[in-house]
Amino acid sequence: MIIMMLLSFVLIGAVLWWFFSRGNAASLNPVWMIFIVIISMIVIFSSGLRPEKFAVNNKVITEPLGPLSYDDKMRYLEDQLKASPNDAELWFEIGQGYLLNGELNAANICFGYVIRLTEEPTANQYAAKATAQYYLHSQLFDEDIEKLLDKALALDEYNQAALTLIASDHFVTFRYQKAINAWQKILDSERVDVDRVTIINSINQAKQLMQARR
Asked whether the predicted pLDDT for residue 60 surpasses 70, the reply is no
What is the structure's pLDDT at 100?
Answer: 87
| pLDDT > 70 in the chain, percent | 69
What is the structure's pLDDT at 68?
Answer: 77
What is the structure's pLDDT at 5?
Answer: 44
- Reference 179, options 1, 35, 46, 51; nearest CA is 51
Question: Residues of 169-189 as b/e, b for ≥16 C-beta within 10 angstroms?
Answer: bbbbbbebebbbebbebbeee
The answer to whether 43 touches 170, Cβ cutoff 8 Å, is: no
Please write the tens of the pLDDT for every residue from 135-150: 999 889 999 999 999 9
pLDDT band at 58 (very low <50, low <70, confident <90, very high): low
* CATH 3.10.310.10 is the classification of domain 50-194: no
What is the structure's pLDDT at 33?
Answer: 55
Q: Hey, what's the torsion of the CAs at 124, 42, 8, 153, to 10 degrees?
A: 20
The residues near 198 (Cβ < 8 Å, ≥ 6 apart) are 47, 48, 49
Average pLDDT over residues 1-14: 48
Asked whether the predicted pLDDT for residue 7 surpasses 70, the reply is no
The answer to whether 156 touches 125, Cβ cutoff 8 Å, is: no
Residue 155 burial (10 A CB sphere; 0-12, 13-18, 19+): middle
Domain-by-domain residue ranges, the chain?
50-194
Asked whether the predicted pLDDT for residue 131 surpasses 90, the reply is yes
Asked whether the predicted pLDDT for residue 45 surpasses 70, the reply is no
Asked whether the predicted pLDDT for residue 66 surpasses 80, the reply is no
Average pLDDT over residues 23-45: 53
Average pLDDT over residues 2-19: 50
Cβ count near 197 (within 10 Å): 9
- Reference 123, options 91, 157, 166; nearest CA is 157
Asked whether the predicted pLDDT for residue 69 surpasses 90, the reply is no
The answer to whether 160 touches 193, Cβ cutoff 8 Å, is: yes
Asked whether the predicted pLDDT for residue 43 surpasses 80, the reply is no
Average pLDDT over residues 176-183: 96
Asked whether the predicted pLDDT for residue 189 surpasses 60, the reply is yes
Asked whether the predicted pLDDT for residue 2 surpasses 50, the reply is no
Residue 108 burial (10 A CB sphere; 0-12, 13-18, 19+): buried
Between CA 115 and CA 126 the distance in angstroms is 8
Between CA 160 and CA 61 the distance in angstroms is 19
Between CA 162 and CA 103 the distance in angstroms is 19
Asked whether the predicted pLDDT for residue 202 surpasses 50, the reply is yes
